[in-house]
Amino acid sequence: MTGFNKRGAKHHVLELMLTEECNLSCVYCYEKNKNTARMSIEMAKAAICAAFDRPGFEDVEIQFFGGEPLIAFERIREICDWLWKRSWPKPYICFATTNGTLVHGEIKEWMIQNSKRFVLGLSLDGTPEMHDTNRSGSFSRIDLDFFKSVWPSQSAKMTVSPLTLPTLFDGITYLHRLGIPFTCNLAYGVDWKERHYEIFAAELRKIADFYIDHPDILPCNIAVMQIAHALSSEKNSRWCGAGTAMRCVHMSGVTYPCQMFMPSSAGKDINIQAIFESLKENQPTEDNGCKGCKLLSICATCYGNNFVESGSIVTRNVHRCRFEQIRAKAAAYLLANMVVHSERGYIYMRNRSDAYVQTLIQSIKYINNNYLLSKETSS
């Protein structure tokens, strides 16, 4: 959620790569080849005009991207002053993800004044200790109350590294206690190992049991999957709009499918036209290694990270496959217990068709019988 209730094919995301500079050095940062250039005001204006002219979209989300985008705050303010003085043919919102350390003084006051048309999403990696491990000891420099009060429904983004994986449960329960909505994902482009599988499974089992014991708390995304679709024969849907509903304009003026394909991330010049062709809606999103996998229809992937690691948008990291299997096992366990034991489970099921219920039960049984990855995920 970044400003619009509706998402998907009718929602166009324009990423403006204002700067690659950052005031932190996060352990999982995928921008390995940064420079100090800035996007010009005229280039940003041209990209915004082009975004509103793209046919087939009902609204536009303008994302100011970094590095840490607020390093270029004066440029953001100038662009927004120009943007807000003009009439546009579609609804729009401005958004930026920030590490939060610069949101003080003048920047804070400007954000308060414009909070209805500019949304900030905060990167917040769990407990103070987890956050400091991942993000350069920066937890104490963030005004959490400001984010909670100004954008109470905006989710924070919790990223888990191999260093913080052993305290995943602590991080998730900590953010719930803070009362901050959040999403949670494992970091891409880091050195995951087989030894992390067992740790992840154990943490997810504790997280699932926590949600079972606290049915009033909405489970975060890392603990849930569309289990009923696990046995679906339908073609795997796309997991993001990279190259279709999304465009990323680099400071050089080159347009990429998303930020993961930029030189700072991919580390090399790429055939942009070929990448855009491979990301068209009618192109396959899985390789031969995915064929026959019963979890394919619910297995999340990142096309940009796939390309960085393998040179192909469809070739998935083998560690990510195992992590998705572990997620499926934990999600099936959580859903089975929710349906049986909680009022939320009753609400979840009461308007479902008999066919859906049977498919759900079959999917849970299949996952339970075929993905016994550890003692912690056996049930």
Residue 213 clears pLDDT 60, i.e. is over it: yes
The 3-state DSSP composition of the chain as helix, strand, coil percent (nearest 5) reads: 45, 10, 40
**CA distances (Å), origin 166, targets 162, 170, 188, 200:** 8, 9, 17, 7
Please give the Cα distance from 47 to 39 (Å, whole number).
11
Specify the 3-state DSSP secondary structure of 64.
strand
Q: What is the mean pLDDT of residues 211-229?
A: 91
pLDDT digits (tens, 9 = 90+) for 88-135: 999 999 999 999 999 999 999 999 999 999 999 999 999 999 999 999
14 or 355: which carries more pLDDT confidence?
14
**In the chain, which segments carry CATH 3.20.20.70?**
11-225
Long-range CB contacts for residues 174-177, cutoff 8 Å, separation at least 24: 174/126, 174/127, 175/124, 175/126, 176/217
**CA distances (Å), origin 9, targets 57, 240, 243:** 7, 10, 11
Q: CATH top-level class for 11-225?
A: alpha beta
pLDDT category at 377 given cuts 50, 70, 90 is: very low
